[in-house]
Structures are given as C-alpha cells and as structure tokens.
Structure 1
C-alpha cells in the first residue's frame, strides 16, 4: 500500500493538504507586485530565484474571507504540468503520510467538490485535501 505524502497547512482554523509531489517550495511572504485587471483572488506576482510566479490568495479563492498576513503566513509554490503558481496560506503545519483508507470522499453537492479530493482523518485531525489541477485551472481561467 502506497502512502500519500501531503503538505498540511491552515486557512483559519481548518487544515488543508496538497500532494507533496506538486509542491516545489514553501516561502515566506515577500513583496508581491500587483497585476492590473486581475481577479480579486490573484494577489499579483513574485520574483522567486529569477522566476516570476503568479500568487493566489487561497482564502479568497475558496471564499473563506480575508486574513492579515502574519509572521506565519507562507506562499506554497506549486507546479502542475508547466504551470508554477504560489498559494498564500495562513501557516504551514507539517508533512504527513496518509494511508489511502484514511481518506474519505466528499460526496455532497453542498461543497464545491471540484477543488476537494476528500478528507483525510489522521490522529483526530481532519485535513481537507485540495486538487491542485482544478485550483490551477480555476485560477487561470
């Protein structure tokens, strides 16, 4: 049985996770250059080691309200196909191994389920797994 490795992070009180294979790095939030006419959830672009990456405020994208950036705020740099994108999160927690049987699917139409790949139940924690491909497609449309 293959364990799934996820990077866990927080948006408010809830924990979310992304597949570690899609995460390039986790960075402190630095200067973000605003981009004119961008959707509200696109905060702008950052220059990271000579490469310009768009930055998405994940709270805003998922309609979770606004948060002030703090010492714990991070940008998770992700890669899907040839697209590199940064997601602003409130804080990163840890890297966790998740057994496939610990993931429960979200079969409810109550959720915008295209972004959610299920909920991992680990040691009393509920971690909402995000689908990077759908988030990136939604962010680049």
Structure 2
C-alpha cells in the first residue's frame, strides 16, 4: 500500500544583502533585468516607482527597504521579480527588487521549519518558514503577507497616477 506524501514545492531563491530568500514559484510571473523606474511622488520610501511592462504600469518595491535593510543599488545582477499578490479577494501584479536571483529549488515539507517566534513586537507573519538546504537557511516568504492593505493601496494609487 502506498503512503501519501506531501508534495515538494518549487521556490525561486534570491538574495537581499547576504541573506537568501525564496518565493513560491506559483506566485512568480517572470524575472526582469533592472533598468530604471519612474518615481511616483508621495509614496513610501520602499516604493521605488513604476515600470512599463508590455504596456501595463507595474509598481516596483524595494524589499531591502521594506525589511529594514539598506536601499538596493543597481548592479549587473540586480533584477525585478514580477509577482502576483493577493489581498482582499483581488490580485495585483508588482515588481520586487532583488540583489540577484539564484535558482529554482524544490523543498519537501519536512525540509521547512516553522517561522521563528521572535516576540510580540516584531511582525514575522510574512515568513512562511525556514527552508534548509545543506547548511544554509532559506527564508521562505509569504508574498501575500509582506505588505499591508494600506501599502498595496498606495501601490495601486501609484499605478493609476502613472
């Protein structure tokens, strides 16, 4: 008799500073080379601006700034990960800046530990878990929980303003 095993999930891994992060591949639409963004006035600092993606205006966010790191600087490896974010029964396309994209990996559920509990003051609900590959931890992000509804509304307004 065959035993039911949980399916491995594919993740796109990328770097922010020296840390490796991952997103469920089902949320990723594509990866673009980072060229330039058009800044939209009066948006939060982590909102770097908007880009034209085949005729559609797409807001671009700097995940390093969102996570309290330094601003992402443009290098030969800097890229924009185009993701689909769900909130309040709607979906929205946005670009997330990353220092570099690594690879697509498969992780079985038993290779993923729960997100660390760091106390009540720090919000970690956007961390789906900690993947382990060899001796390296990979922070698996829940893209739908990184941004508040208010921040996503800002991004939508920026898109419409552009």
Does TM, normalized by the shorter one, top 0.5?
yes
Residue of structure 2 in register with 1:116 after alignment? 127
Distance apart, 1:30 and its partner CA: 1.6
- Segment drifting more, 87-96 vs 28-37: 28-37
- Using the alignment, how far apart are the partners of 1:37 and 1:70 within structure 2? 26
Q: How many residues align?
A: 141
Give the 3-state SS of the residue equivalent to 1:40 in structure 2.
coil
- Segment drifting more, 60-69 vs 4-13: 60-69
Instruction: Please show how residues 51-66 of structure 1 align to structure 2 within 5 Å.
Output: 51-66=56-71
Could you say what the CA RMSD is over the residues aligned between the two structures, in angstroms?
Answer: 1.4
- Runs (5+) with no aligned partner, structure 2: 1-5, 154-162
TM-score in terms of structure 2 length: 0.82
Give the 3-state SS of the residue equivalent to 2:132 in structure 1.
strand
CA contact (8 A) 2:85 2:92 kept: yes
Would you say 1:72 and 2:77 are equivalent positions? Answer: yes
Give the 3-state SS of the residue equivalent to 1:25 in structure 2.
strand
TM-score in terms of structure 1 length: 0.94
Distance apart, 1:136 and its partner CA: 3.8
Instruction: Please show how residues 126-141 of structure 1 align to structure 2 within 5 Å.
Output: 126-137=137-148, 139-141=151-153
Return structure 1 stretches of 4+ with deviation > 4 angstroms. Answer: none
- Runs (5+) with no aligned partner, structure 1: none
- Using the alignment, how far apart are the partners of 1:95 and 1:50 within structure 2? 28
